[in-house]
Structure 1
Amino acid sequence: MFYASNVSGAGVTRDEEIWYLDSGCSNHMTGKEDLLVDIDKKVTAKVEMGTGQLVEVTGKGTIVVETKASKRHIKEIMLVPGLKENLLSVGQMIEHGYYLVFGDHKVEIYNDSSHTNLVAKVQMKGNRSFPLKLQAEMHFAYRASVDHSTDLWHRRFGHLNMSSLKLLKEHDMVVGLPEIKEDRQVCEGCVLGKKSREAFPREAISRASTPLELIHSDICGPMQTVTKAGNRFFLTFIDDCTRMCWVYFLRHKSEALCVFKKFKATVELQSGYKLKQLRSDRGGEYTSVEFERFCDNAGIERQFTTPYTPQQNGVAERKNRTIVEMAKCLMLEKKIPFDFWAEAVNTSVYILNRCPTKALSKKTPFEAYGGRKPGIKHLKVFGSLCYAHVPKQQRQKLDLASKRCIFLGYGSCEKGYRLYNIETEKVIISRDVIFSENECWDWNTKKETSVNIQLTEIREEEQGAEGSSYEFEEQLEVNEMPSLNIEISDQEREAGSQDVDHTPLKYKSIAEIYEKCNMCIIEPESFEEAAKDDSWKKAMEVENHHD
């Protein structure tokens, strides 16, 4: 038995294309057989109308909605001869994966839970009905959602220019990127964060033919803002053959030799190649006696730029400029404080290794170095508000199921997201995260705006392209992590582990103290247990009295 409410078309022009959204209707229904395709006449049933009248169902079919981009099919529509109006069941649309948001005298229909892929927007009429003209309104809304998707990926890729974004798709350089439609609108983040002057001319010189044959290096800084770990500089290493880039963060330039030793040992072990040449400027951090001695002992040939001509180290100079520009765009869009610049730089390098470069033909640095195409389905907009799931082993019954966080990038050692816990002011790594990519945290008022939610989980198959034999993502680690009190990720914590917190009370935040206070509110698990508590006995007596 199916049900259909009464819908009056008063005040609405009758049209075979008009369908009414009906929350009282248990199934899509129409009385016009010519609107349906693939009709199954074997399906029969009875429908009870709002008046109590029973009418026959003589079949079930599909309607096809033409859009500029593609065709959409709305299936399982009951054919009810004599029905004057076309009805779309709200419940059935929800079952088929659509998300409907009612409010402000309208209803918005989305294609998924992200609340970003708009399918249709329907205004409420004077008779409190929601008439949807499929051929016109769905066509417009679907086209709008395609444009929004392009803008979203532009922001996920750190405000990468549209031509490079289209190149990724046209040459199938990454896994998981949808069709890109170039948008001529002005992006404020790009205007504010990117440099407008012309770059240095590139010299036509020979290129390395194997990874690690030639490494370019340069230090950028000091930054005007010190990170929470006390870092003021970042140091990059760029492979000439593949253009793969690694970044490290320094408190002082004198740490360059220590970082270079770590970099050399790691990449040689992971790739199987030997580092042969190092090109840099003549800064004191590269020309110290200790640095020269280490390179001589390791058999590394040194290449220096001519004094006052940094253009000769153009690869590293351009890379650092690109990294800084992207990092500024990332922070400006979501108004991230500048003391998080290291997180933005780290994320920029992660993204740029997955972007096209003129130095390579139809490949990203990630693929050229590791041999596999990178997966990009997990990319999110830097600085977005998000919610990290708290497993039940780590919370009490009355605790919240998620932590409110800010997205700061991608894990280096674990496959997960780097998140800044707003309450504890710590950086955590988590895989199960709900994102609101269109919203950001107001660092002044400590409040967030309305939330558009998208559930995302990093899965092995989505990042399978990154599971190459070269675990070089280790080098994207931000060395300020220990100073930020990194919490152990959900996957690394053993199930059922209940470690006791011995932190002195004076070192805990007020939020942590209140969180522990909730643990003393224990709900009884049986009637016998509740009967022993005077407060529960009193509550039961009050309840019985009301009954």
Structure 2
Amino acid sequence: MGHRCDNVYTINISKYDGRDRCFSSMHDQSWLWHRRLGHANMDLISQLNKDELVRGLPKINFQKDKVYEACQMGKKIKNSFKNINFISTTRPLELLHMDLFGLSRTPSLGEKSYAYVIVDDFSRYTWVLFLSQKNEAFYEFSKFCNKAQNEKGFTITCIRSDHGREFENIDFEDYCNEHGINHNFSAPRTPQQNEVVERKNRTLQEMAKTMLNENNLPKYF
């Protein structure tokens, strides 16, 4: 065994006097050619090797599932968001996460092609409202607010959504100002900030795909 000093491994041979010694150095040729060819992926190098398009490229096995650590770091565009293991709200309807997905390729029996998903941050209770057009989002939200507040006995304090035009418009702004609701927006191209409802959306979309693949109409629309 040797110890690395800067970019060199050093070893004290004197302490091995009087013993049989065998020293070897091992290096993965696939990574060497990966760097020489400008960090090309292994699939491309395998194809170059197969078609003999690069002079001097040895006939070695380039494993397709190998990932170079430097390439991973170089292609990483943002740090991962840490998971939050606690609920920041103290009561129902204090914060509502909202999102909308569609257009569904196959409309429902009620001719609905969009799903408007609302998730309560405290209880994670989820409401799904189905729309024919995106511009129906505000009308459905205003009806939902009156109904939910009367049923639960709490007032809505804050809502969170992305910057979609169905949420960021004058109707939503006037309604929130009139009823004292704080409307938060997630940063552009950062769905992680609205991940609570984004996960619900993905689940609903997978359910819809499964039902359509089984030749069943999405009756929950």
Q: What band does the TM-score fall into relative to the shorter chain? A: 0.5 to 0.7
What amino acid does structure 2 have at the position aligned with 1:316? Answer: V
Paired residue for 1:537? none
Residue 150 of structure 2 aligns to a residue whose secondary structure is helix
Task: Give 1:230 deviation, angstroms.
Answer: 2.4
The answer as to 2:215 corresponding to 1:336 is: yes
Alpha-carbon displacement from aligned partner over 1:395-422 (angstroms, at most 9, x marks no partner):
xxxxxxxxxxxxxxxxxxxxxxxxxxxx
What amino acid does structure 2 have at the position aligned with 1:336? Answer: N
Paired residue for 2:177? 296
Task: Give 1:209 deviation, angstroms.
Answer: 1.3
Task: Give 1:328 deviation, angstroms.
Answer: 3.1
The answer as to 2:88 corresponding to 1:207 is: yes
Task: Give 1:201 deviation, angstroms.
Answer: 4.8
Structure 1 length as normaliser, TM-score?
Answer: 0.25
Give, in whole Å, the separation in 1 of the partners of 2:146 and 2:131: 18
Paired residue for 1:313? 194
Mark the runs of 5 or more structure 2 residues left unpaired by the alignment: 1-79
**Would you say the 8 A contact 1:202–1:314 is kept in 2?**
no
Task: Give 1:330 deviation, angstroms.
Answer: 4.3
Paired residue for 1:279? 160
Paired residue for 1:221? 102
Give, in whole Å, the separation in 2 of the partners of 1:245 and 1:281: 17
Query: Quick one: which of 257, 261, 282 aligns to 2:138?
Result: 257
What amino acid does structure 2 have at the position aligned with 1:210? Answer: R
What amino acid does structure 2 have at the position aligned with 1:307? Answer: P
Task: Give 1:226 deviation, angstroms.
Answer: 2.1
Give, in whole Å, the separation in 2 of the partners of 1:272 and 1:226: 35
Cα distance change, pair 274–307 in 1 and its aligned pair in 2 (3 A): same
Give, in whole Å, the separation in 2 of the partners of 1:321 and 1:295: 27
**Would you say the 8 A contact 2:87–2:122 is kept in 1?**
no
Alpha-carbon displacement from aligned partner over 1:295-332 (angstroms, at most 9, x marks no partner):
11011001101111122110111111012223433454
Give, in whole Å, the separation in 1 of the partners of 2:153 and 2:195: 27
The answer as to 2:123 corresponding to 1:242 is: yes
The answer as to 2:147 corresponding to 1:266 is: yes
Give, in whole Å, the separation in 2 of the partners of 1:260 and 1:331: 28
Residue 274 of structure 1 aligns to a residue whose secondary structure is coil
Which structure has more helix as a fraction of its residues?
Answer: 2
Paired residue for 1:323? 204
Task: Give 1:336 deviation, angstroms.
Answer: 3.0
Give, in whole Å, the separation in 1 of the partners of 2:130 and 2:153: 25
Residue 306 of structure 1 aligns to a residue whose secondary structure is coil
How do 1:169-208 residues align onto structure 2 when only pairs under 5 Å count? Answer: 201=81, 203-204=83-84, 207-208=88-89
Alpha-carbon displacement from aligned partner over 1:126-183 (angstroms, at most 9, x marks no partner):
xxxxxxxxxxxxxxxxxxxxxxxxxxxxxxxxxxxxxxxxxxxxxxxxxxxxxxxxxx
Residue 287 of structure 1 aligns to a residue whose secondary structure is coil
Give, in whole Å, the separation in 1 of the partners of 2:143 and 2:83: 31
Work out the number of aligned pairs and report it.
141
Alpha-carbon displacement from aligned partner over 1:455-506 (angstroms, at most 9, x marks no partner):
xxxxxxxxxxxxxxxxxxxxxxx5xxxxxxxxxxxxxxxxxxxxxxxxxxxx
